[in-house]
Structure 1
């Protein structure tokens, strides 16, 4: 694709996440344009189209994907439709930016990877945490060797009272694929692997619990509950992930828990010469000088264009150059393999080996 040609995008899903994509890609008008939009609730799609000046409202995702004037598709719909829409778009010659998790499970994720390899089109998973300025600062120092050998990390996100949309697709395993593990844990997995240097996970031991949701406790403020719906996912998950190179990662996430927490995501990276911590929008390096421990605060930039702008621009750049995205289909599969293994380990009580075969 010509570097001067605008990339034409179609959006599937006009809800909250879809609206964020409209806002961010709308800031890159010299590089792209949103030419079509659709949603299962068409009045919302029409409202977004009018607000953002999008010329076409397609009646269905299939109609949008089939348009010849679209180069790329953003998939911002409930989890169970991620794989089918992504694969359909790839087979119609479109590049795809898909919301997390890439697949409802590892089986769906493998089908996406196979479709991407078949078509040669770009598939990128929308993990914005890699693009936060402090995350990028830590990554730069790790790549320079300042932390030495990274041998383990611990990450998580404890929400004390934050179950979203009780009774809706969010809390139904068949539609969401799981609870906080697949909702917010997938973000932390992606960020941890990014900073650890993308090691290959080989086995998982994990446990999940549902102490709040089934009793309609721990309800958060996000989403509108459907009290006639159901809840069959976890509200807390914990796991240890072992890598092929001997490194390890600990993961802990919750939607609801009786715990002293500030509800912020956290990540601790531990190296032979130093460590780094990210928590709640702050961060610092930890090392030792003259036999004393030393903490070096990370400095936030005074002006920052935003993580999602960097994410959006990276997607467009990958389409133009053909390079693999940072959050490729393979990284999406990795997250789905780990998540599936945590659920399996919780059921059978033992360690689960990851099956990477396609």
Structure 2
């Protein structure tokens, strides 16, 4: 057994605890070595709860600690790029929470720093690791669906605006609303299932019908009634790919709609189709001139969080590219930027890869 990887955690909020729990199940491979947060009391409580060895007073101090091999960055979006770049310059591998950056330009800066450092950057999109998603990916790679020419993905919440007035609802800190919060997951998963075609243009619209009126509030996050809401609460878009395929996206934090809040992906291919809705999986095809629907039972052996943590460890050990690499993170950021721009201009926007 190789030496255990020493992991540092920057941020001690809810998402950080998911990583602490996940890596805590993999003690044969890693040591949860340190945690830091601007709220040191919270960091101390998390360290005690999850068995993290040390609490460090600042991210700067943690990143300069030469005994730490890799860091998890789980802080508000505005600080993703600054901390990631500092971490890479300090020689750390990174598990960087989504979205990779607050916008495409910041994502490009992370990519530049990564190339200079030679370190691993992985975006922990846990939906890729759900058993149902892995089964769809297998069928796509086996060509069971043929060429996928159209995909539709939705994640519509009826009443789920998180932490009104907190960093979630302030564009300067978050970069946007449900599009950059949950839409990034749906874009990432769907593009991966489609075979990672290259996006070339976007037409999109965003709306703020609930948040400004303090309606549609959910239970996630801590509200700050002295704060602001200057992001969208619903986004929709059509993304065109270089191979001619198209992706349709709908996401909301709040909407007057009958919805169970379940993330959904529909794939339509020349030989078959697939519906992925949570852990429900159905395939569609045609035989003997008759439509055939097949429901596939999905058996979950390990949680998606454990699987993605294992993949991160494996990539560091073997020096290989993560399946949710910094390039996929940049792709998501560029699409999101284009959707926001299209919503303002009312026109189709070409994606800027330069």
Range into which the TM-score falls when normalised by the shorter chain? over 0.9
Q: Name the counterpart of 2:191.
A: 193
Aligned mates of 1:66, 1:191 — CA distance in 2: 34
2:68 maps to which residue? 70
Q: In structure 2, how many angstroms separate the alpha carbons of the residues matched to 1:224 and 1:77?
A: 15
Structure 2 partner of 1:313:
310
Q: CA deviation at 1:279?
A: 1.1
Residue 174 of structure 1 aligns to a residue whose secondary structure is helix
> 1:356 offset after TM fit, Å?
0.9
CA drift of 1:281 comes to 2.3
Question: How big is the shift at 1:52?
Answer: 2.5
Task: Report the alpha carbon displacement of residue 343 of structure 1 after superposing the two structures with TM.
Answer: 0.3
The runs of at least 4 aligned residues of structure 1 exceeding 6 Å deviation read: none
Residues 261-312 of structure 1: CA deviation (Å, up to 9, x unaligned): 11111100110010001113211101112222111112121x5211111100
TM-score under structure 1 normalisation? 0.98
Is 1:235 equivalent to 2:233 in the alignment?
Answer: yes
Structure 2 CA distance, aligned partners of 1:51 and 1:236?
Answer: 36
Quote the Cα distance in structure 2 between the aligned partners of 1:291 and 1:36: 61
Distance of 2:49 and 2:132 partners within structure 1: 33
1:98-151 residue CA offsets vs partner (Å, 9 max, x unmatched): 100000001110100111111110000010000000100010011001111111
Match of residue 165 from structure 1:
163
Structure 2: distance between partners of 1:180 and 1:51 = 30
Q: Which residue of 2 aligns with 1:98?
A: 96
2:123–2:325 contact (8 Å) kept in structure 1: yes
**1:299 aligned counterpart, secondary structure:** coil
Partner of 2:341 in structure 1?
Answer: 344
For residues 1-358 of structure 1, what are the structure 2 equivalents within 5 Å? 4-301=2-299, 303-357=300-354
C-alpha displacement of 1:325: 0.4
SS at match of 1:85: helix
Task: Tell me the distance in 2 between the aligned counterparts of 1:23 and 1:167.
Answer: 28
Q: Deviation at 1:354?
A: 0.8
Distance 1:58 1:289 in 2: 62
Shift of 1:328: 0.6
Deviations, residues 77-117 of structure 1 (Å, cap 9, x unaligned): 11111111111000000000010000000111010011111
- 2-side partners of 1:134 and 1:13: how far apart? 30
Alignment RMSD: 0.9
Q: Structure 2 CA distance, aligned partners of 1:105 and 1:172?
A: 14
Instruction: Determine the C-alpha separation between the residues in 2 that align with 1:283 and 1:55.
Output: 41
Gaps of 5+ in 2: none
User: Normalising by structure 2, what TM-score?
Assistant: 0.99
For 1:355 and 1:117, how far apart are their aligned partners in 2? 20
Equivalents in 2 of 1:258, 1:350: separation in Å?
26
Mapped to 2, the partners of 1:112 and 1:11 lie a distance apart of 18
Shift in Å, 1:228: 1.1
SS at match of 1:284: strand
SS at match of 1:29: coil
Deviation of 1:54 (Å): 2.0
CA shift for structure 1 position 51: 2.3
Secondary structure in 2 aligned to 1:49? helix
SS in 2 for 1:204: strand
Distance 1:328 1:75 in 2: 15
Q: Provide the C-alpha distance between the structure 2 equivalents of 1:63 and 1:169, rounded to a whole number of angstroms.
A: 24
